[in-house]
Amino acid sequence: MAGKIVTVAQQKGGAGKTTLVAHLAVAWAEEGRRVALVDIDPQGSLSQWFAEREKGGAPGLTHSRITGWRTQVEVERLARDHDMVVLDSPPHAETESRIAVRAASLLVVPVQPSPMDLWATRPTLDLAKAERVPAILVLNRVPPRAKLTEELAAKIGELGVPVARTQIGNRTAYPASMLAGRTVQETARRTRAAEEVAELAAELAGQL
């Protein structure tokens, strides 16, 4: 049976896509799933993170960096041998993004609690609708100012797409772990950051 393909996409740069991809992948791998990463973002941040991970000898993930028309073929190949394939897509709605969305079993759209992220989300959701791919929004880098977050969450809900119950906080543990080619599940296991990643991974797996 083919594995599930999860594409993380957001037209606005700096939304935390790569950090989310890495953390979900490790969370699923720690549950015993075979997980592959595909980096189709020209910036290659996920590939740089994976290179640091390899230097440290961290096991558990397959990685591929690819662009262009070969993307769908590579993703389908990986899905035959893995339980989960997680794609980090470029921050624009070009051909690679369209292919990544088309291949997905689920589109995950990280949204920071800011008007700019909210406005930038619509083209990504329109792309998912055009490709008939289910999408879910994830509130990412959420500050402790609950009132502002609740107001924006209400506006995001008006986009007509499910919003994940689990929110990812704006915590320094996330970038700190990424610098070492790791995630918070590995460097800060007994923290709220690690807990919320595990909760989100379980929630998204349930959507699949």
Q: What percent of the chain has pLDDT over 70?
A: 96
Q: Does 154 or 104 have the greater pLDDT score? A: 104
Rounded CA separation 120/92 (Å): 10
pLDDT confidence of 66, banded at 50, 70, 90?
A: confident
- pLDDT at residue number 106: 97
* Cβ atoms of 15 and 65 closer than 8 Å: no
How far, in Å, CA of 31 to CA of 198, rounded? 10
Q: In angstroms, what CA-CA distances link 16 with 48, 60, 82, 115?
A: 15, 22, 24, 16
Nearest partner of 164 among 199, 120, 113, 121, judged by Cα: 199
Out of 60-69, 89-98, 123-132, the most confident range is 123-132
pTM assigned to the model: 0.93
Give the model's confidence band at 93: pLDDT under 50 very low, under 70 low, under 90 confident, else very high: low
Residue 42 has pLDDT above 90, yes or no: no
Closest CA to 39 of 74, 15, 80: 74
- Using CB atoms within 10 Å of the CB of residue 119, give its burial: 0 to 12 exposed, 13 to 18 middle, 19+ buried: exposed
Domains of the chain are 4-202 (3.40.50.300)
Can you tell me the mean pLDDT for 164-193?
A: 94
Using pLDDT thresholds of 50, 70 and 90, give the confidence band for residue 112.
confident
DSSP code at position 207:
H
Average pLDDT over residues 172-183: 94
Comparing 167 with 14, which gets the higher pLDDT? 167
Choose the weakest-confidence range: 22-31, 118-127, 154-163: 154-163
Tell me the average pLDDT across 119-123.
87
Cβ atoms of 11 and 93 within 8 Å: the answer is yes
Average pLDDT along the chain: 90
Write down the pLDDT at residue 72.
86
HEC-encoded secondary structure of 19-75: HHHHHHHHHHHHCCCCEEEEECCCCCHHHHHHHHHHHCCCCCEEEEECCHHHHHHHH
Band (137; pLDDT cuts 50, 70, 90): very high
Percent of the chain with pLDDT over 90: 62
